[in-house]
Amino acid sequence: MIFKNARLVLADRIVANGCVEIENGKIVRVAERDLAAESGELAMDVAGNYLAPGFIDLHIHGALRRDAMEANAEAFETICKFHASGGTTSLALTTVTGTLDEILRVINAAATFRNTLHDGANVLGVHIEGPYFSREKPGAHRLDLIRNPQHEEYEKLLERADVITQMTLAPELPGALALIEALRESGIRASGGHSDAWDEEACAAFAHGMQQVTHTFNCMSSARRRGAYRVAGLLEFAMSEPEILCELIADGRHVSPTLMRMLYQAKGPDGICLVTDATAGAGLAEDKHFALGDIDCIVRDEVGLTADGAALAGSTATMIRLVRNVVELAGVSLVEGVRMATLNPARALGLDSSKGQIAENADADFVVLSPDLHVLKTFVGGRCVFDSRT
């Protein structure tokens, strides 16, 4: 099949009238001319809309009252299908703080599910968020289950390293540096988050292999006084270190437009990775209740909150909302905004040769966007999994 008459969103520019030819789920040609007229092959007319790489979400808990912690195919399929409507073609199912057995159930279920054909985003693996957090920065995670890393526990997780994409942990905890090294050796990204780290603790974690921070600005330490002196926290360390990739929940609630712009000025377009951190409240109406793990939460003002209103409980966004927001609220170009949702996360997982860009030999994962940046169609491996008209 050939996608013709498309405004191609490439990694560095927009092609005004481009064509993409796919075969067996892969891109075989990208051109700035009408390939269909040359070959006479079946063509889909994109009608002058944008054709962008499919979005990649490294941090996603759920949707439509279904949660990754349910650890079953029905929940996973609901999550993957809903987020495909927002242009996401690949995602990492994300846990919350739980017991070892609960987390292992998610990993094992995801390992099976990612090999099945379904009408939604591909599952890349599992992002383990918790339980190794600071008790000072729990967010919407259960305090009674937060604990320090123990080798005899996390070695059981590392036995399934082939399924784990990243782990979020507080780098200042006793045993955290050894865990970060073990993650690096296992090919898993270590991401600092839910952390009260001082500057030197963040620096030590980076030296041991921490490459990323989780939901920047949220649940992380920032500049404060130590005695008479002001010292940076995890936030400032991440913003100042070029090699740290910063997750950003650009839903307009977790982080204000000014903070989005500040992060962009500090990190540039290649240092930011858009993530939804969407929970089971995604897709629900205002004031509807949902669960994050076993914590009661509510949708209010287009975001998830714990039922008592005391803490944020993930977002209710799809990825296209984040892309629109960084373009409209933070002044980022469309090319850069799309890169934050595609090539940057693909590079983080070492998948940029096959995902995250419209290029020869890459997977035929696409999203068709209207001029006002709404999702019209989503394709996974060249197969349409979402059509706004149906």
Positions marked active-site: 277
Is the CB of residue 121 less than 8 Å from the CB of residue 90?
yes
Could you give the CA distance from residue 365 to residue 383 in angstroms, rounded to a whole number?
A: 8
Q: Measure Cα distances from 95 to 88, 98, 116, 253, 362 in Å.
A: 19, 8, 20, 22, 29
- CB–CB of 60/83 below 8 Å? yes
CA atoms of 89 and 346, how far apart (whole Å): 12
State how far the Cα of 19 lies from the Cα of 209, in Å rounded to an integer.
41
For residue 122 the two structure tokens come to 């591909």
* AA identity, residue 293: G
> In sequence order, what are the beta bridge partners of 67?
62
Residues 6+ apart with CB under 8 A from 355: 53, 54, 56, 89, 90, 342, 346, 362, 363, 365
Tokens 């307009």 found at: 252
Alpha-carbon gap, residue 195 to 180, rounded angstroms: 14
Residues 6+ apart with CB under 8 A from 146: 97, 130, 131, 132, 133, 134, 135, 138
* Placement of tokens 């060249």 in the chain: 382
Cβ atoms 195, 234 nearer than 8 A: yes
